[in-house]
Structure 1
Amino acid sequence: MAVRDYGQYGALTQAVELVGERWALLIIRDLLVGPRRYGELAAGLPRIPTNVLATRLKELQAAGIIHRMPRSRVIVYELTPYGRELEPVVLALGAWGFKKLGDQRDEQIITPDSMTMDLRTAFRAQVAADLPATAYSARLGAAELLIRVAGPELEVSRGDGPADLTFAAGPGFRRVISGELAPDRAIGSGVVEVLGGRHDLLDRFARTFHLAA
């Protein structure tokens, strides 16, 4: 099935042959958030050529990583149990990549699915377990997310809703997640704009979601 054959026998070689083609891991990342229609995948990856998306989906299906399922009279793509085993791999790669993330460039976008997976990557369940349940409504770039934390459980969904803290942030929010910028300074400098709720809860957010740069 693999498009690229490295001519080597080994487990890592096999893995790279299955998911190492361009765009494959980003498709898997978005499907880890939930099943997606073809058009939703294309919208979440606006630079992917349609022929490449179609090819990658066929390759991932052939490998048993995703499958097509009818749902409410439409076809959606979703991960198989074998494909879902990639979640810790994707989260670990995200944490590793964060160390070299740098500042967002003008041509780069933030999508709801990419931010959802970044939040899953940064989530510290052991810290959250000792904190009160909290709901955050966050506008991070173009992504509007409702983030609910209840003990060690995290739920992220699109849109807004009742929240203990509502805030908006731009590219500089990376510095809050990394601990480079304290929450009070982030608010004071305009990196984070509190739109509603308790300002002090941004400190709780920063303790709950953290990645070392």
Structure 2
Amino acid sequence: MGSSYHQFCPVAKAMELLDERWTLLIVRELVTGSQHFNQLRRGLPRMSPALLSRRLHQLARAGVVERRTEDGHVRYVLTEAGRELRPVVEALGAWGTRWIGELGDEDLDPKLLLWDMHRNVDHAAVPAGRTVIYFRFPGAPAGLRDWWLTITGGDADVCDADPGHPVDVTVTAGLRALVDVWRGELTWDDTLRTGEVRLAGPEPLRRALPTWFTLPPFAAIPRPAHRLPARP
């Protein structure tokens, strides 16, 4: 746990645990359904495994997370205290959506984008059988430009190497443009019309692809006319 603020205020006492770097983002991942270490790593791709392990230990010691071992696999599950943080995470996300509009290039992470997209697939809308979507981000750094999303039945998997299956639809996009679609700043139609996102494949699949994903709840939050200025 971080150093004490030495205040009896309950906000101060809560922040002694939660304001350490990455801690609340780990809670975000647990709230959205991640339970295994590798799942948490994929939702927090820029966090080192050692620090993730340390933060999980701190959360478990504080009674926010319970570490369970079942059939040789470790799961991290929110306790009652941890589950009560869901509205806190949701409120912070809503506030950030409304008031923090500026994204730097360093904030644009294709790993996180594809991971979030994979857990928001509308499986009822995707064709039966296996569907493979190839995402190309030509402007992204080398090694982060090519991604494959394989959807089979009720499952979806993200790969950064060709899984070897035929591709049904190719999405070629500016990373910022697709992130803006995902955040609700732009629509699929906006970016398709400008060419910032391009789809290749059979026409019925191209037309249907935007319906295969359910945008995160934050995307629908109304934005004020004027947002907070970008940080220097």
Normalising by structure 1, what TM-score?
Answer: 0.64
Q: Does 2:30 align with 1:20? A: no
Question: 1:35 aligns to what?
Answer: 35
Structure 2 counterparts to residues 7-156 of structure 1, below 5 A: 7-32=6-31, 33-37=33-37, 39-98=38-97, 99-103=99-103, 105-106=105-106, 108-109=108-109, 110-111=111-112, 115=116, 134-135=125-126, 142=147, 144=149
The alpha carbon displacement at 1:65 in A equals: 0.8
1:143-171 deviation line (CA, Å, top 9, x unaligned): 8486xxxxxxxx995459xxxxx774532
Are the aligned partners of 2:119 and 2:156 in contact in 1 as well (CA < 8 Å)?
no
- Bigger shift: 176-185 or 17-26? 176-185
Contact 1:104–1:171 (Cα < 8 Å) also in 2: no
| C-alpha contact 1:112 1:143 (8 A) present in aligned 2 | no
Cα-to-partner distance string for 1:189-212 (whole Å, 9 max, x where unaligned): 223334563637748979984233
For 2:148 and 2:5, how far apart are their aligned partners in 1? 38
The worse-fitting range, judged by mean Cα deviation, of 172-181 and 91-100 is 172-181
| Contact 2:66/2:79 (8 A) holds in 1 | yes
Check whether the contact 2:117–2:213 (CA below 8 A) recurs between aligned residues: no
For structure 2, the 5+ residue unaligned runs are: 138-146, 160-168, 224-232
Q: Distance in 2 between matches of 1:159 and 1:77?
A: 21
Partner of 2:2: 3
- Please report how far the alpha carbon of residue 139 of structure 1 lies from its aligned counterpart in structure 2 after TM superposition: 7.0
Report Cα offsets for 1:10-32 as digits up to 9, x if no partner. 22112211211111011112222
Aligned to 2:143: none
* Residue from 186, 198, 207 that aligns with 1:193: 198
TM-score by length of 2: 0.60
Separation in 2 of the partners of 1:108 and 1:144?
Answer: 18
Distance 1:203 1:41, change over 3 A: closer
CA distance in 2, matches of 1:83, 1:145: 32
- What count of residue pairs does the alignment treat as equivalent? 189
**Cα displacement (A) at 1:47:** 3.3
Deviation at 1:173, TM superposition (A): 2.8
Cα distance, 1:6–1:84 mapped onto 2, change above 3 Å: same
Matched to 2:29, the amino acid is D
* Partner Cα separation in structure 2 for residue 113 and residue 179 of structure 1: 16
**3-state SS of paired residue (1:199):** helix
Give structure 1 regions of 4+ aligned residues with deviation exceeding 6 angstroms: 136-141, 203-208
CA contact (8 A) 1:145 1:158 kept: yes
Deviation at 1:60?
Answer: 0.3
Amino acid corresponding to residue 35 of structure 2 in structure 1: P
Determine if the alignment matches structure 1 residue 210 to structure 2 residue 220: yes
